[in-house]
Chains A and B, each alone.
Chain A
């Protein structure tokens, strides 16, 4: 038995290592491809022997590198948020975009921009935490008040409705304050505004969010087996849930304030990692981070190449990848037995 666990842990570690290598490779690709292709050697030199007078080095240092790093972090954060949500609610469709959390964050950002146009990056991030928090609270209130609790289909529909409502109110505000461009950007999702300041913000919030996530990962495993069981094992479910929600809000909020509504990563990745890694969230959460990062870096690369020299919103790319997966889930777990 012990040997078996060790061997499967070894296998999981190897899979994670392979994913990390793939991630590093795709970061390399992401930095070297763009409106002009830069050879990998130049990328290497720009990172490790930076010379400010070479344009290619500047492009890499100031534009492409921070963007690639932001993609890594945001992909990781969204995937971990999704994993925590699915583990806590035992709902296969729980994820930031399906639950209207992204729309909530965008809504708060639009309000802040309308009334304090000079708001700092940090202020914007804080607003998007609040907005995400509002959306999550609404979903939970609906869940508590509704007869029969939040089934997967109710969750999805409530997400659609709240998303539509918040998006509509955002549109009205943006029309009035002439912020259509900003809201359009958040609704579509994109990484083109990611600079080193954004990366700093991501790293700082990420440390908080990820530490909480890893800290509660064992308890989420227990919670995902059923709430009664968790209580029986002497676990303080309320505390774990609050910590989980805080971590989701921090991770999702900061991601949206920088990249806008990038959907479906938080839905797909946890399912894939659960399939590979099993039921233990101490494995699922770190692997979700790696796989999520890989997915967003690649999606960002595709979004720049598919219609070059124009950028396609990365949210559209992740949706196109995510929708077939969502449909698969809808056929299998959402729709009952018939």
Chain B
């Protein structure tokens, strides 16, 4: 028993170290590639304040905030997906498929539509308020889906189907709303809804940091409950866990993470779905280990996707959400074929 545990822990530590190294390597590749290439050594020089003024401008004002945002958003979506899959006992749950992302997107678009012009969105107040608007939308969507799927209990399959329906409904409302905007806003919102790290600046990073650094650790702290859910509600209750309360808290964390991520990165689909599966393959079914691994994989994956999107068709940029879909939809289809 103990040897198994030790082996697991070793494996976990190795996975964490490997992923961290990959993230660091990718971080430098991502910083040095772009329309203007900066050699990796120069990147290090510039980070140490020894580069040229132009390089410093590119790195600190343009690339670095975008990359940090990609890391944060990727981690948040991955953890959100992991928790959702654990709570709903459904391998195919994901904030994108369940319509939570679209709900958050709808709230943000409504917020922009009613309260201000998109061009003034660099205003500080609105940046810090946007995650809250998204959170509100995400919670509304989650409650709506849960209620619609409720029929003396919530069955996972019905939950997913209802999510797909609600998603389509929100998308239709979004289409109608978008047409009422002026062309400039219309274009921006369209790209953003496809999943795009828009307005990559440090204020957005600051607005997201508290969400990521508060909610992900709480998620890890609560992970034990997720493992117990696997045993079934009755066993969980027997083990002294207040099932409904824990489930509510965990759902709220997942929804809040997805909402805040959407506010900054748009509706990025499939990331939250695929990452937990990769993490489970690497490390087994214990959520206390899965969540940290998911955090790193999500961050890595979104940073890679972001770099691909920025460079593959340069100078035009592909929204990161599209890259993520192309990379992970085939894996999702594979999972679909395996699930009974």
Contact = CB atoms under 8 A, between A and B. Distances in A.
Interface of A: 93, 142, 145-148, 152-154, 156-158, 160-162, 164-165, 167-169, 171-172, 175-176, 184, 188, 263-264, 306-307, 310, 312-313, 315-317, 319-320, 322-324, 326-327, 330-331, 334-336, 338
19 contacts: A142-B333, A154-B339, A156-B160, A161-B329, A161-B336, A165-B330, A172-B318, A172-B322, A175-B313, A188-B175, A307-B180, A313-B176, A316-B173, A316-B175, A320-B172, A326-B165, A327-B148, A331-B158, A335-B155
Given A307-B179, A323-B169, A160 B164 contact: yes
Interface string B159-196: 01110111011011101100110000000001000100
Contacts of A327: 148, 162, 165-166
B337 interface: yes
A334 B336 contact: no
B318 A323 contact: no
Contact of B168 (A146, A161, A165, A323): A323
Contact of A168 (B171, B326, B336): B326
B281 interface: no
B179 A310 contact: yes
Chain B at the A interface: SS class? helix
A335 B152 CA distance: 12
Interface of B: 92, 97, 148-149, 151-153, 155, 157-158, 160-162, 164-166, 168-169, 171-173, 175-176, 179-180, 190, 194, 269-270, 313, 316, 318-319, 321-323, 325-326, 329-330, 332-333, 336-340
Contacts of A184: 190
B318 A320 contact: no
A312 B179 contact: yes
Chain A at the B interface: SS class? helix
B151 A335 contact: yes
A168 B329 contact: yes
B329 A334 contact: no
Nearest to A145: B337
Given A157-B336, A161-B336, A169-B326, A323 B172 contact: yes
**Top 10 A-B pairs, shortest CB-CB distance:** A335-B158, A319-B172, A330-B161, A146-B337, A323-B169, A165-B329, A168-B325, A316-B175, A326-B165, A316-B172
Contacts of A161: 270, 329, 332-333, 336
B158 A334 contact: yes
A160 to B, nearest CB: 6
A152 B322 contact: no
Given A146-B338, A316-B176, A323-B166, A171 B322 contact: yes
Q: Which of A146, A176, A323 has the most CB of B within 10 A?
A: A323
Nearest to A306: B176
Contacts of B194: 171
A317 B175 CA distance: 10
A224 B337 CA distance: 24
A93 B97 CA distance: 17
Given A313-B179, A334-B157, A323 B270 contact: no
A136 to B, nearest CB: 15
A256 to B, nearest CB: 17
Contacts of A142: 333, 336-337
Given A142-B333, A158-B333, A172-B313, A312 B155 contact: no
A324 B165 CA distance: 8
B205 to A, nearest CB: 26
Contacts of A335: 149, 151, 155, 157-158, 161
B97 A336 contact: no
Contacts of B157: 153, 334-336
Nearest to B154: A338
Contacts of A153: 157, 160-161
Contacts of A323: 165-166, 168-169, 172
A289 B194 CA distance: 35
A156 B332 CA distance: 13
